[in-house]
Amino acid sequence: MSISKPRGPYAKGAERREQIVRTATDVFATEGFEGTALKRVAELVGVKEATLFHYFTGKQELLTAVLAERDRRSREAGGTGDVGLSSLAVVAERNRREPGLTTLYAVASATANDPGHDSHGYFQDRYAQLVEELRQDIAHRQGAGSVRTDVAPDILARLVIAAFDGLQLQWLYDKDVDMADGLTQLVDVLLAPPAA
């Protein structure tokens, strides 16, 4: 039994929404999300800027959809789709190449702490998922003897995420900060088991 795709106006609306999200993700990656970025997205999609919000409740919903698309692409590019210590430098390098999306992430995550914010649920779920995936990876590595065991895996996972976000913020202010190298050193030095 095959499942058919929706037809009619709903299908076209869903396709257009996906097109807008993909295009916005591409534009925001290099041009940022402020100023004329939305106008550029509309031009590339072939609609007026105001028409973009026919498919979204507002700018924040579009920005959240772009961040979710960024996550999807990142997982797709990573192969397995899992987040682990070995993928941190790769993600940091991707973030360096996409400064507009990295800035969007930093700004949105800083403003979405209010439970009433449109992106609150996205960030709450995203952090919970990241902590759990890193916790599992760290616990596995602890069992194999390659990561220190004197700190619980969930604590180490949260510290790694905090270091990643902190390095990323520093990089936004100083492009000489090497996020990938900093994360690699964090894992190599701070998470290594004590020397015997």
Q: Which CATH fold would you assign to the domain 9-190?
A: Tetracycline Repressor; domain 2 (1.10.357)
Residue 171 has pLDDT above 50, yes or no: yes
Task: Rounding to the nearest 10 degrees, give the CA dihedral for residues 90, 150, 167, 37.
Answer: 60
pLDDT in tens, 74-87: 877 665 456 789 88
| Residue partners of 47: CB distance under 8 A and separation at least 6 | none
Per-residue pLDDT band at 67 (split at 50, 70, 90): very high
List, as one string, the DSSP characters of 28-58.
HHHH-SSTTHHHHHHHHHTS-HHHHTTSSSS
Between 33-37, 60-64, 94-98, the lowest mean confidence (pLDDT) is in 33-37
Residue 175 has pLDDT above 80, yes or no: yes
Residue 12 has pLDDT above 80, yes or no: no
**pLDDT at residue number 72:** 87
Write down the domain spans for the chain: 9-190
**pLDDT at residue number 11:** 66
